[in-house]
């Protein structure tokens, strides 16, 4: 993909990134997650190091976890083995492979590595990978047929706001999203959708409303999981947009409101949750921050809105 002037500007604003070792995973996380049937799954997430995504989205900060150049053949399997080998106890229900890029990009995941990855994933009943909608197609189906468990593909929709969706530099249209997700659902591949809270160019007072609308849109297209991800600064471009009045960091209270409203309107066939990665970075009242985060964790697992947090200090509930 040829770099556009927008790509070059976004990349020029990035701070330096640390050196990434392509033979060592960044880390792993074992946690619990609610599925649409109400079952609570134990999921092992492995953060893999590989080639950068070719799509230079304005809001992305995942590039800092990628290497320069293509992923070396064999590196991802080596990383995954390094995480799985020392595991003890019962095998988790699900394995998530997040490579800060696109699993079906040959530059990020060499095709010759897929059989080895499929063998390593064999003990798990579910396998989640991430991909831009533009890279979903027959290779996705071939990989789904090669694994023992059920494949789930996580796709970033971000927002259906008519202006913001065209300003993210994501190179994604709703028709292409519909085609890709329709392909997944038609072939028995589960769909997970990422929705952005505080997307650039969405007015702050409309931010929660557009999260709800976007989550509803994803559910209508068969999403099993919708994850609400607060937009983060730190990549240079988001700071530029903030200086222009086009980005306001979302607050912890907005994340609560977005999740609560989604639980009321999104059908139970879709499990909606709030992504709590770096949640302590969100602007929040110091007196009630911990209580609100604890509430979000409980709501994520139960799927039921808990009693609101009452805080005299910020006069919110």
Question: Where in the chain are the domains?
Answer: 5-302
pLDDT value at residue 271 = 98
Q: How many percent of the chain have pLDDT more than 90?
A: 95
The CA distance from 148 to 153, in Å, is 15
pTM > 0.85: yes
| pLDDT of 304 over the 70 cut | yes
The burial class, CB within 10 Å (0-12 / 13-18 / 19+), for 229 is buried
Taking residues 43-67, what's their average pLDDT? 96
pLDDT value at residue 1 = 44
pLDDT value at residue 314 = 82
Residue that wins the pLDDT comparison between 3 and 21: 21
**Banded pLDDT at 3 (limits 50, 70, 90):** low
CB atoms under 10 Å from CB of 173, counted, come to 13
How does pLDDT run across 173-189, given as a tens digit for each residue? 999 999 999 999 999 99
How does pLDDT run across 236-286, given as a tens digit for each residue? 999 999 999 999 999 999 999 999 999 999 999 999 999 999 999 999 999
**Banded pLDDT at 305 (limits 50, 70, 90):** confident
pLDDT value at residue 150 = 98
Convert 57-99 into a string of H (helix), E (strand) and C (coil): CCCCCHHHHCECCCCCCCHHHHHHHHHHCCCCCCCCCEEEEEC
Structural element, H or E, at residue 113: none
Looking at domain 5-302, which of 3.20.20.70, 3.50.50.60, 1.20.1070.10, 1.10.1660.10 is its CATH number?
3.20.20.70
| pLDDT of 107 over the 90 cut | yes
| pLDDT of 315 over the 70 cut | no
**Banded pLDDT at 317 (limits 50, 70, 90):** very low
**Banded pLDDT at 37 (limits 50, 70, 90):** confident
| pLDDT of 316 over the 60 cut | no
Mean of the per-residue pLDDT values of the chain: 96
According to DSSP, residue 35 is labeled -
**Banded pLDDT at 91 (limits 50, 70, 90):** very high
According to DSSP, residue 204 is labeled G
The CA distance from 23 to 49, in Å, is 8
**Half-sphere exposure in the Cβ direction for 80 (13 Å, CA):** 22
pLDDT value at residue 274 = 98
The CA distance from 101 to 107, in Å, is 10
The burial class, CB within 10 Å (0-12 / 13-18 / 19+), for 18 is exposed
The CA distance from 194 to 157, in Å, is 6
């Amino acid at each position: 993909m040829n770099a556009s002037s927008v790509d070059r500007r976004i990349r020029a604003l990035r701070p330096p990134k640390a050196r990434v070792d392509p033979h060592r995973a960044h880390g792993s996380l074992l946690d619990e997650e609610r599925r649409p049937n109400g079952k609570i799954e134990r999921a092992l997430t492995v953060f893999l190091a590989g080639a950068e995504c070719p799509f230079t989205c304005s809001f992305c900060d995942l590039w800092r976890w990628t290497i320069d150049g293509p992923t070396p053949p064999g590196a991802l399997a080596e990383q995954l083995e390094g995480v799985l080998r020392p595991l003890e106890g019962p095998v988790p229900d699900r394995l998530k492979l997040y490579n800060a890029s696109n699993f079906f990009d040959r530059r990020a995941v060499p095709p010759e590595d897929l059989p080895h990855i499929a063998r390593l994933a064999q003990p798990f009943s579910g396998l989640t990978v991430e991909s831009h909608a533009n890279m979903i197609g027959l290779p996705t189906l071939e990989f789904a047929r090669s694994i023992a468990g059920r494949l789930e593909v996580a796709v970033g929709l971000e927002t259906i706001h008519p202006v913001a969706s065209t300003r993210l530099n994501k190179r994604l249209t709703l028709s292409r999203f519909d085609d890709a997700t329709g392909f997944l659902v038609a072939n028995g591949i589960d769909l997970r959708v990422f929705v952005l809270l505080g997307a650039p160019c969405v007015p702050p007072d409309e931010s929660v409303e557009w999260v709800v609308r976007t989550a509803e849109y994803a559910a209508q297209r068969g999403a099993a999981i919708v994850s609400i991800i607060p937009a983060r600064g730190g990549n240079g471009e988001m700071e530029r947009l903030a200086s222009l009045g086009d980005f306001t960091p979302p607050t912890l209270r907005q994340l609560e409101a977005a999740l609560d409203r989604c639980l009321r309107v999104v059908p139970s066939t879709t499990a909606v949750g709030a992504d709590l990665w770096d949640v302590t970075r969100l602007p929040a009242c110091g007196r009630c921050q911990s209580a609100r985060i604890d509430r979000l964790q409980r709501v994520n697992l139960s799927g039921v809105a808990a009693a609101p947090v009452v805080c005299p200090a910020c006069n919110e509930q």
